[in-house]
Structures are given as structure tokens and as C-alpha cells.
Amino acid sequence: MTHTVTTRTRASRLATIAAVLLIAAGLALPAFVDRSMIKDLFFILTMLTLAQYWNLLAGYGGLVSVGQQAFVGLGAYGLFGAAIVWGMDPVLALPLAGLFALAVAIPTAFFAFRLAGAYFAIGTWVVAEVVRLSIAQWKAVGGGTGTSLPRSVQADMTGTDFVGTLFGVRSAAAQDILSYWLALALAVATIGGIYLLLRSKAGLALAAVRDNAEAARAVGVDAGRMKWLVFLAASFGTGLTGALIYLQKGRISPEAAFSVTDWTAYVIFITVIGGIGTIEGPIIGILVFFVLQTLFADYGSTYLLALGMIGILVMLFAPRGIWGAITDRTGLQFFPIRRRLQKTPRPEP
């Protein structure tokens, strides 16, 4: 009798098929829907991606950051800088923008990792403020008031012509479709990448550290390295997403790009009400958030207050979020990571 290990479940097999169909549908969608729908989907996909990275940090790495807006802003400004100062093609500059965020994440980690718990959270927020104030001094990209991407830069973007011809639309619509495709690719790569990470030996170590850091160290887990891995990956991804968001907006200012409400508070809300520490959680969370945003965003501060209330209620009555409540009742898992040991009978001779 030998043994094999599997993580698959029936639901996950169905989820794989559903995911492939969804991605295909997502790619084809611009042929069937109007521009405002594409913009909504862009918003959903990018917020989902940000939420997945925050979930990786806080839910899996135990690093509760409230300064992720620093990396959104850095990525966005990295992109504007590369396009305006160096005249780079913004689509090609996206990865560079992620690296820009990563470069600041390294010294940030050296500082913030000396702090624990609430102090870590405050530390990340302080770093974000410092970064915002510093970027506001960068005159080439508009200083404190901000700037727009030059029209010529946007129109000449790699892929715009191709998309325009493919769907028979004008340049501005083609740019939206292109941004949407990039957001779709980024969301899929992020979810897929995080899922692969969680299923790997490193993911198992993350779970072990979360359960018991001292015992994890005693069995050879490099807990410090895991923190670095998670923090740097999340910063790079958050920076890349920030760059894409502002590529689509076409206009940037320090106030907006480093907004703690837009890029951290909403993202935490999405993750927490959906279910922290699961991949499914932020997916549910973004759908709920989008509905609330569409229906009530016009109510201004009342809306924010209501969001806060909903967040608190969910934390009180369903501390593991909506998805947590669903799995507790049904055992459903679309992204299973639990390894099961199975006996494999020897084949008949």
C-alpha cells in the first residue's frame, strides 16, 4: 500500500472549469457590453486584486498594514514618471512601476518589521504619509496638484491600435478595453499566484507560523523570510495595480493616489466582510462592495458611516466573513489548500 497526496475536491474541479469559462467570457465581453460596464468591471477587478494582496499580507502573513496606499501611489507615480519624464510606453512601464513600489517596500520592511501588532499598522501608515509628502515635491509629475498623462502618450499606447481595430472602436474606448484586459490578466495572475503560493511548501509554512510561530521555528521554518516574502510580493502587486488604475484614470494627484480611504479602508472592508484568510472572501467582498457603492455612494459621509457599521456587524456576527459563514455550513471550498493523504491500492497484477 502506497500513499499519495491530493488537495483537489469536487467543488475545486468544477471551479477550475468555471474559472476557464469565466476568463474566456471576460476576454470576449468587450464585444458585447458598453463602455460604462467595462469601466465598472475594471473597478471590480482592480479592487479585487488590491484586496487579494491585502489579504495575503494580513490574512496569511499576519501583517496588518494600513499603509498600502503608499504602494498604490508609488506604482501610479512610477508609471506617470516613466511615461512623462522618460517618455516610456505606459503599458510597458507597468512592471517598472511595480518595481518602483518594491524598491520603497524594502526599506519600509526594515523599519516596520521592528514593530509588532498595532505598532506595525501605525508604522505603515506613517510611512505612507511620508511617501505622499515626498512625492508631492516631485515637480516633473505635477507636485502637490498632480498632472495628466499627455494625450499623445495615451493614444500611442501599445495595443491600443490592435484593440481598436479588433472591436471597431475609437482610441478612447480602445484604451478602456485594453485597461480592462490588463486588469483581468492581473486579477487572474494574482489569484492564481496566491493560490499556488498557498499550496506550496511556503504556504504551509505561512499557515504554521500563523498557528504557532515558536513551534514553526522549532521545525525549521524561517518565519522572518516568510514575512519578507509576503510583504514584498504584496507591495509589488499593489504597486502594479495602482499603476494600472491610474493608467486608466489618466490623471493623478497625491491626494487621490495616496488616499487611505480608497486604497486601504475600502480594501480592508472588502476583505473583512468577504472573509479574511481565504481567496474566496475578497471575491464575495468586492461584489457586495460594488453593489453598495453603486446604490449608495451618492450619500457621501452617511454612506461611509453605513459601510463602517456593516463592517462592525459582520466582524461581530460572522468574524470569518460571509465566505467563512458559508464554508462553516456547507464545507464548500473552491480553492482548497488542505492536503489529504490517500491510500493508493497497488494495481492488480
Q: CB nearer to another protein: give 79 or 221.
A: 221
Q: CB nearer to another protein: give 5 or 316.
A: 5
CB of 160 to another protein, least distance (A): 44
Q: CB nearer to another protein: give 88 or 223.
A: 223
Backbone angles phi, psi at 347, to 5 degrees: -60, 145
CB of 24 to another protein, least distance (A): 31
SS3 string of the chain? Answer: CEEEEECCCHHHHHHHHHHHHHHHHHHHHHHCCCHHHHHHHHHHHHHHHHHHHHHHHHHHCCCCCCCCHHHHHHHHHHHHHHHHCCCCCHHHHHHHHHHHHHHHHHHHHHHHCCCCCHHHHHHHHHHHHHHHHHHCCCHHHCCCCCEECCHHHHHCCCCHHHHHHHHCCCHHHHHHHHHHHHHHHHHHHHHHHHHHHHHCHHHHHHHHHHHCHHHHHHCCCCHHHHHHHHHHHHHHHHHHHHHHHHHHHCEECHHHHCCHHHHHHHHHHHHHHHCCCCCHHHHHHHHHHHHHHHHHHHHCHHHHHHHHHHHHHHHHHCCCHHHHHHHHHHCCCCCCCCCEEEEECCCCC
CA 297 to chain centre: 22
CB of 215 to another protein, least distance (A): 4
CB of 209 to another protein, least distance (A): 9
Q: CB nearer to another protein: give 114 or 338.
A: 338
Q: CB nearer to another protein: give 101 or 198.
A: 198
Q: CB nearer to another protein: give 2 or 145.
A: 2
Q: CB nearer to another protein: give 17 or 341.
A: 341
**Residue tagged 466582510 (cell numbers):** 273
CB of 331 to another protein, least distance (A): 13
CB of 60 to another protein, least distance (A): 12
Q: CB nearer to another protein: give 170 or 343.
A: 343
CB of 342 to another protein, least distance (A): 9
Interaction site with another protein (CB under 8 A): 2-5, 200-201, 204-205, 207-208, 210-212, 214-223, 338-341
CB of 210 to another protein, least distance (A): 8
